[in-house]
Structure 1
Amino acid sequence: MLIDSHCHLDHFEEPERTAVIARAVAAGVGQMVTIGTSMAQSRQAIAMAEAAANVWACVGVHPDHAGTEGPVPAAETIAAMTAHPRVIGIGETGLDYFHDTVAPEVQAANFTAHIRAAQMTGLPLAIHARAADEDMAAMLEAAYAAAPFSFLLHCFSSGPELAARALAIGGYVSFSGIVTFPKSDALRAIARDIPPGRLLVETDSPYLAPVPLRGRRNEPANTVHTAKVLAVLHGMSEAAMADLTSANFRRLFAKAA
């Protein structure tokens, strides 16, 4: 069984959401995690996880949304939301300098609050990092040195240095459909070098549909296409890759085990 470690089910309206989940199960994707991008949307993610036994939730504020609902949430506020039994992680949060919609200092304050919440609760962070490799690595290393925490670099599309520095402090790395794109040779080289025990797979749906579905709306069932490429890169069968990434998921997101 595969697990889609990062998707956005709130982009699918009912009753379609039920059909999307059913198609995932039929494709061999038995569980999925729907991700919070704002405090209000995180509450929606919890409700979706309550409604489906094979859906989990993460809660948090995306860097592009930092400060848009008012002040950056306190770590204690984020941590309190994780008491819900269907919440298994914190995020997505992090740094995004590509879109340039939120000031870097606001993003950093938001990210710091989420790191503190992870340190307080022991739950892992789902991290968004785009065009911010050096600042991301430096913040992770400094925070980890102060108080260790677990984390996942989701939808990895950064460079090898960030991957190496994250792995050095116990991080996990997840790949989306980007790793299947024809021009993603450099990313495939990074994916090939990730230690098998730190590797996860995701869709980030409804975005980033993998080959052979480019241009279509993505959904959790399509995890199988990304996992197939990762299996080739690591020289194992698709079934072995499913078992590996699912075991890694349960180790990282231990609350879901």
Structure 2
Amino acid sequence: MIVDSHCHLDYDGLAEDEAAVVARAVEAGVGLMVTIGTTRAGWAKALGVAERHPEVLCALGIHPHHAGEQGLDDPAPLIEAARHPRVVGIGESGLDYFYDYGPRERQAASFRTHIRAARETGLPLVVHTREAEEDTIAILEDEMVKGAFTGVIHCYSSSRWLAERAVAMGLYLGIGGILTFKKSEAIRATVADMPLDRLLLETDAPYLAPMPLRGRTNEPAFTVHTAKALAALKGLPLAEIERATTANFCRLFTRAAALRPAA
């Protein structure tokens, strides 16, 4: 079984055909999907998708793009929402200096609040970082000293330095379609050197469709293309990549492991 550990099934491009998108994923061998609620309004949408499909779970948070108007200073609302049994993660949250839609100080404050929620709930943190590597790692390391938590660097597409620091903290790396892009030589070189037991598969659908489907609306069924690319990169059979990344997912997303549908 393959797991798509990060997608957005309530976003335009997928929501209009939700049932068929999930069915195509299952047919392609994707047995679990985690859809991400990125705004307060999006929490209910993500939960709705997860409630309608046994193969779909969700994570809830406030994306850094929305930290200006919706950023969290108190973890209580998120902790309360995460009591729902189909919520398996906290986030995505983090820092995005590429678009800078949210003031950086608000992004940082909200990020720390999400970490508090992850620590208190025991659910893994889903981290978004774009052109903010040093500040992201500084916050993660500072918060880890205050109390341990688990998590994943979603959509890893950054430097070797970030990957190494994240893995050293015990975090995982989410590997998506970017791994297959022609200009991703440096990313492939880093992922090749990362321990297999720290890698997860994801799509970030509807964005970043992998080769040879680049340009199309991405969807969880396409996770298999990234799995094949990772297998080739690691010199391992596809079945081993499926087994290892699914085991990694269940180890990190412990609540998901308990909810995993029967084969």
- Aligned: 1:48 with 2:49: yes
* Counterpart mapping for 1:84-95 below 5 A: 84-95=84-95
Q: Which amino acid aligns with 1:24?
A: A
CA displacement at 1:13 relative to structure 2? 2.7
Q: Distance in 1 between matches of 2:44 and 2:74?
A: 16
Q: Which amino acid aligns with 1:22?
A: A
Q: Distance in 1 between matches of 2:169 and 2:48?
A: 33
Aligned-CA RMSD value: 0.9
CA displacement at 1:73 relative to structure 2? 4.8
Residue 10 of structure 2 aligns to a residue in which SS? Answer: helix
- Aligned: 1:17 with 2:18: yes
Q: Which amino acid aligns with 2:35?
A: T
For residue 63 of structure 2, what is the aligned residue in structure 1?
62
Q: Does the CA-based 8 Å contact 2:73-2:109 persist in structure 1?
A: no
More deviation in 231-240 or 124-133? 231-240
Normalised to the residue count of structure 2, the TM-score between the two structures is 0.95
- Aligned: 1:202 with 2:216: no
Q: Distance in 1 between matches of 2:158 and 2:104?
A: 18
* Counterpart mapping for 1:1-257 below 5 A: 1-11=1-11, 12-14=14-16, 16-69=17-70, 72-257=72-257
Deviation digits for residues 180-237 of structure 1, max 9, x if unmatched?
0001000001111111111101000000000000111000000000111111111111
Normalised to the residue count of structure 1, the TM-score between the two structures is 0.97
Q: Distance in 2 between matches of 1:246 and 1:176?
A: 14
Q: Does the CA-based 8 Å contact 2:68-2:103 persist in structure 1?
A: no
More deviation in 21-30 or 5-14? 5-14
Paired residues in the alignment total: 255
More deviation in 74-83 or 177-186? 74-83
CA displacement at 1:87 relative to structure 2? 0.2
Q: Distance in 2 between matches of 1:92 and 1:234?
A: 28
Q: Distance in 1 between matches of 2:80 and 2:100?
A: 30
Gapped runs of 5+ residues in structure 1? none
Q: Distance in 2 between matches of 1:43 and 1:127?
A: 20
Q: Does the CA-based 8 Å contact 2:72-2:114 persist in structure 1?
A: no
CA displacement at 1:67 relative to structure 2? 2.9
CA displacement at 1:164 relative to structure 2? 0.8
Q: Distance in 1 between matches of 2:162 and 2:190?
A: 10
Gapped runs of 5+ residues in structure 2? 258-263
Q: Distance in 2 between matches of 1:42 and 1:187?
A: 32
Q: Distance in 1 between matches of 2:79 and 2:28?
A: 34
Q: Which amino acid aligns with 2:21?
A: V
CA displacement at 1:68 relative to structure 2? 2.3
Q: Does the CA-based 8 Å contact 2:176-2:201 persist in structure 1?
A: yes
